[in-house]
Structure 1
């Protein structure tokens, strides 16, 4: 099974409980991390934003609250996730989003279309990061910003913390997944995908290699997650 099909099956399975699981697994911290994404953005009137892998609408809803004139497109490979996001957006009185089911590695948008491209906890699930990063670069306007929120593999000097984090990741999270989402294997995959992701410094180089300039990253929560920003 190729990775795109695997990801489709994983998120088909977890879509209905995805937001609840995020709250439980991160102890609610994912909300603060996503706030940081939007707070790093400096909108002008009618800014065009593409949120890649944005299925459940968390980033889009935050953007609309900060800048109501923003024109937000949510793109996700999984229709179930988009359906959940659309329901949530309606409940939040947000009706103007554009919802597109498409692969991050082959975006159905024109060159130079967006002021911002965001992706939160999605880049590690693509088959080819280089293709996805190149596509984000292509659809951004000159001086457009790429903003990526992603878990980071743990490289702590503190052995006790590292052992606790490993125990939580590999034992507790899959157990929670089996109880709450009735799906242990999908959460085993998600934990494994974090461990296989490059370090912050390595991913910074990957972002630079497709053309982004002034690339920087900011660790949050002791480096459990990082916010990566690059400029076209």
Structure 2
């Protein structure tokens, strides 16, 4: 079952167009060159490779699944960049990273606030947290409509509609809800941006201080 999970997420990052979304998200993150960056819930590690190769960041990835980390280590060719750890209990030093990213992770956890507090713990002062989650616009119906519009088929279609199913089953935070969560975690929401079709994904950036700007 665990190996099937690895194969599923590896296929998701390489066969569904998800790489395009990750590259869009990476442009939103836009880390400074040589920034020390951690991608939480990195899965097969595609985003770590993007940050290292395209942005020259000192990027690392963490995931709770040891088989996933073994797969990332063997396929991404980025050296000793991966470590096992749970999002709410990371085996990493406090105030160690300039940037922390989390794509499609926090909306899945049962209690988001402790996880956010843990991510804030490992950020340096004035560090940046950037996350991607389904927006309030995401649903099974919306995902199906976009899959039809883009002529998705097979695994790509199933995977995208499944994202809509998970969004309905879990949580779809608004910018206002994210701002409240960030404040409780000791962060300040500074920017959100809607992407993917009509805005089915919500990117959010938080730092310790700054002004908030929502872009549709």
Give the TM-score, by structure 2 length: 0.77
Cα RMSD for the two superposed structures: 3.0
- Count of residues paired in the alignment: 198
Q: 1:200 aligns with which of 174, 191, 195?
A: 174
Greater share of helix residues, 1 or 2?
1
Q: Which residue of 2 aligns with 1:41?
A: 30
Change (3 A) 1:155 1:88: closer
Aligned to 2:20, the other structure's residue is in SS state helix
Unaligned runs of 5+ in 2: 148-152, 209-216
Superposition deviation, residue 122 in structure 1: 1.4
Q: Per-residue CA shift, 1:113-157, capped at 9, x if unaligned?
A: 10000111111222321111001111100110001012224269x
Q: Which residue of 2 aligns with 1:213?
A: 188
Q: 2:110 aligns with which of 127, 138, 142?
A: 127
- 2: distance between equivalents of 1:188 and 1:164? 9
Give the TM-score, by structure 1 length: 0.73
Change (3 A) 1:123 1:155: closer
User: 5 Å matches for 1:19-168?
Assistant: 19-22=10-13, 25=16, 28=17, 30-39=18-27, 40-45=29-34, 47-68=35-56, 70-90=57-77, 94-97=78-81, 99-154=82-137, 163=141, 165=143
Contact 1:16 1:84 in 2 (8 A): no
Contact 1:208 1:215 in 2 (8 A): no
Superposition deviation, residue 208 in structure 1: 2.6
Aligned to 1:124, the other structure's residue is in SS state coil
Change (3 A) 1:55 1:188: same
Superposition deviation, residue 187 in structure 1: 9.3
Unaligned runs of 5+ in 1: 1-8, 157-161, 170-174
Superposition deviation, residue 12 in structure 1: 4.9
